[in-house]
Structure 1
Amino acid sequence: MSETAPQGREVWTEKYRPESLAEVAGHESIVGRLENYIARNELPHLLFAGPAGVGKTTCAVAIAKEIFGEQWEANFLELNASDQRGIDVVRDRIKSFARSSFGGFDYRIIFLDEADALTSDAQSALRRTMEQFSHNTRFILSCNYSSKIIDPIQSRCTVFRFSPLADDAIAGQLRSIADTEGIALTEDGIEALIYAAGGDMRTAVNDLQAAGVLDDTVDEDAVFAIASSARPEAIEEMVSLAIDGDFTAARSICERLLTDEGISGDDIIDQLHRTVWEYDLDDQQAVALMDRIGEADYRLTIGANERVQLEAMLASLALEQ
């Protein structure tokens, strides 16, 4: 942010994006291996797999900056496969970039984000392109699910699996940003941001900015007022009431979360899945709840009504008592 820019005008996820691999938090082992490739000038094709917001794109850009310096943008092509899924993208844009002349470096880098959204034909074309231009082009692919990448591409890449970021890594970054921006960030505020993010640094930073714009003090109340998450105690109470057989009270909490607080059914299911083992449930109750969560998640994925499915899940738990 420039000194004259209004407070909050710049998106903090970009403002505080690490400029180098050394600044990437929470993936020390991955960063160390990538730095060794760069130091030895032996960068292979790379496949980054993992959930959103954990540093895949940041690492790809940082690699380009460390290799190419100020000329990194001219030697780095970023494409988003979810927007451009067809085989023409592979045949045209990627080949055009790989064929274009450049000087001063041994190779260029093509970064294909969300590569698991490519069609099978596009992936087959990409495999052939990777072979054809391996002498002057390195490919970095990122995806959420490596299983959706065809084996011939995986076998040509060094695979790095990014896990959700640890709480300490997210907390450290949030404290640093809050200090720089002059925001008072309370400990319960940090815990709420970490809980709502679920290992996603981008979500945590976005929520911090959204809460910080409204108030110079970011606490638990401020976070849950803007985050797409329910308070964990509300979710736990809803489940406990259903397991105790009080379907009406459990349904009332579900209704409040969906209607009054605007939490989506998908987010409620995600929170349940992340925290079910933290509840005071015996093994049989936990297993039953996980079974119902899986069924509700599947039905929501194929377009079922979220209110009906959540209430059906609670009713099923209550009927077992």
Structure 2
Amino acid sequence: MMEVDVPPAVINLPWVEKYRPQSLGDMVSHEEIIKTLTRFVKSNKLPHLLFYGPPGTGKTSAILAVVNNMYSQKQRKSMVLELNASDDRGIGIVRDEIITFAQTKSLHLDKDSTDLKFVILDEADAMTKDAQNALRRVIEKYTANVRFCIICNYLSSIIPAIQSRCTRFRFAPLSLEHITPKLEYVIAEEKLKVTEDGKRAILKLCGGDMRRVLNILQSAAMAFSVIDETNVYVCVGQPTPKHIEKILQILMNDSFAACCRKLQEECGGQGYALVDVLTRLHDLIFELDLPSNVVICLIAALAETEQRLSVGTSDRIQIGGIVAAFMRSRRMIKEAAEMQ
């Protein structure tokens, strides 16, 4: 029989998982939160936890690092329940899985092991209010032998009764000084060729989201041998800075009909989503030397357009609205110049 060499499973892992921190010491940011969690674990006085903040800021990684510290790999199967509340948002997930898990106790633990079980409920802001109320009662009933970690993006979507029973930690977007060393480390580990403008493009697009950094980097690495700014933007399907500057030049100089036609050609020809063009235009407007009343007019108009796009309106119609907003701004600039 012919033998085939099977590469280690880690090679095929997404980089988000491959480079996920395995301990609290590996976390790249949130020093105060990490110190507090470390003290909780060392003193064996872990409360119920509520982690909230934008995606990719280390919420899930932090609690998995806590779990790795508390349990051996063998114990995790019986002592830790990981659930994604967005899969099943109803009361059934509480009644069928969480209560069943909380009611049982594990035996034959090591001397140094804790007898507390752990429930990790990710994306809990997707849970219905009825499910959250049922969860509140479960938290109260099984506090003696179970600890809960509720993870969500928006704190306001968690009922006050659960908030008051948990120690809350806010995970802010990661700063560039924390993201950059991790990015450099992954580039070195994977032996990638990344230009400086490619790195800047990744950092600009990530918005403080470490998960997005790694996903963009892996996608670009699979598609291109050299990762530069253009290749990064091609991978994420967003307009490059030069393309946005070209669109802005059109909006600030051409006639209404020409602007509408050219903007449709630019977006349609390159396959850009209009909402992505809006986001990049928004950033660029603040870099221009425009009167404050003109900036206010433009930002308000772009915000209204983005809101309309979010509810499924026609891109073609909204392009007309964008062009009209820039026409008003051009008239305001002209009037201000004539008054001087």
* Alignment partner, residue 17 of structure 1: 20
Give the AA of the match of 1:30: I
Q: Distance in 1 between matches of 2:255 and 2:298?
A: 15
* Alignment partner, residue 61 of structure 1: 64
Of 148-157 and 223-232, deviating more is 223-232
State the Cα distance separating 1:272 from its structure 2 match: 4.4
* Alignment partner, residue 83 of structure 1: 87
2:100 aligned to which of 91, 96, 102: 96
Q: Judging changes above 3 Å, is the alpha-carbon distance between structure 1 residues 132 and 16 closer, same or farther for their aligned structure 2 residues?
A: same
1:183 aligned to 2:192? Answer: yes
State the Cα distance separating 1:129 from its structure 2 match: 0.9
- Check whether the contact 2:10–2:18 (CA below 8 A) recurs between aligned residues: no
Q: Distance in 1 between matches of 2:24 and 2:32?
A: 11
* Alignment partner, residue 109 of structure 1: 118
1:196 aligned to 2:227? Answer: no
Give the AA of the match of 2:178: A
Q: Distance in 1 between matches of 2:199 and 2:98?
A: 42
Q: Distance in 2 between matches of 1:108 and 1:277?
A: 51
Give the AA of the match of 2:172: S
Q: Judging changes above 3 Å, is the alpha-carbon distance between structure 1 residues 279 and 10 closer, same or farther for their aligned structure 2 residues?
A: farther
* Alignment partner, residue 130 of structure 1: 139
Q: Distance in 1 between matches of 2:207 and 2:83?
A: 27
- Check whether the contact 1:50–1:144 (CA below 8 A) recurs between aligned residues: yes
Q: Judging changes above 3 Å, is the alpha-carbon distance between structure 1 residues 55 and 276 closer, same or farther for their aligned structure 2 residues?
A: farther
- Check whether the contact 1:98–1:108 (CA below 8 A) recurs between aligned residues: yes
- Check whether the contact 1:239–1:314 (CA below 8 A) recurs between aligned residues: no
Give the AA of the match of 1:34: L
Q: Distance in 1 between matches of 2:199 and 2:258?
A: 30
Instruction: Give the RMSD, CA atoms, in angstroms.
Output: 2.5
State the Cα distance separating 1:196 from its structure 2 match: 1.6
State the Cα distance separating 1:133 from its structure 2 match: 1.0
Q: Deviations over 1:131-176 (max 9, x none)?
A: 1111111111111111111111111111111121111222211111
Q: Deviations over 1:185-216 (max 9, x none)?
A: 22111101111212111111111111112333
1:171 aligned to 2:180? Answer: yes
* Alignment partner, residue 27 of structure 1: 30
TM-score by length of structure 1 reads 0.90
Q: Distance in 2 between matches of 1:14 and 1:33?
A: 24
State the Cα distance separating 1:25 from its structure 2 match: 1.4
- Check whether the contact 1:265–1:307 (CA below 8 A) recurs between aligned residues: no
Q: Deviations over 1:99-146 (max 9, x none)?
A: 122143231111111111111111111111111111111111111111
State the Cα distance separating 1:304 from its structure 2 match: 1.5
State the Cα distance separating 1:3 from its structure 2 match: 8.4
Of 281-290 and 193-202, deviating more is 281-290
* Alignment partner, residue 274 of structure 2: 265
2:317 aligned to which of 288, 308, 318: 308
Equivalent pairs: percent with the same residue?
37
Q: Judging changes above 3 Å, is the alpha-carbon distance between structure 1 residues 281 and 138 closer, same or farther for their aligned structure 2 residues?
A: farther
How many positions carry a matched residue from both structures?
320
SS at structure 2 position matched to 1:313: helix
Q: Distance in 2 between matches of 1:87 and 1:6?
A: 36
- Check whether the contact 1:18–1:62 (CA below 8 A) recurs between aligned residues: yes
Q: Deviations over 1:296-321 (max 9, x none)?
A: 22212222223422441232232232
SS at structure 1 position matched to 2:82: strand
State the Cα distance separating 1:178 from its structure 2 match: 0.9
Q: Distance in 2 between matches of 1:157 and 1:273?
A: 38
TM-score by length of structure 2 reads 0.85
SS at structure 2 position matched to 1:101: coil
Give the AA of the match of 2:229: E
Q: Distance in 2 between matches of 1:93 and 1:170?
A: 36
Q: Distance in 2 between matches of 1:233 and 1:54?
A: 30
* Alignment partner, residue 212 of structure 1: 221
**Structure (1 or 2) with the larger CA radius of gyration:** 2
* Alignment partner, residue 231 of structure 1: 240
- Check whether the contact 1:245–1:319 (CA below 8 A) recurs between aligned residues: no
Q: Judging changes above 3 Å, is the alpha-carbon distance between structure 1 residues 310 and 75 closer, same or farther for their aligned structure 2 residues?
A: farther
Q: Judging changes above 3 Å, is the alpha-carbon distance between structure 1 residues 11 and 90 closer, same or farther for their aligned structure 2 residues?
A: same
Question: Which ranges of structure 1 fall in alignment gaps of 5 or more residues?
Answer: none
Question: Which ranges of structure 2 fall in alignment gaps of 5 or more residues?
Answer: 332-340
- Check whether the contact 1:184–1:218 (CA below 8 A) recurs between aligned residues: yes
- Check whether the contact 1:85–1:119 (CA below 8 A) recurs between aligned residues: yes
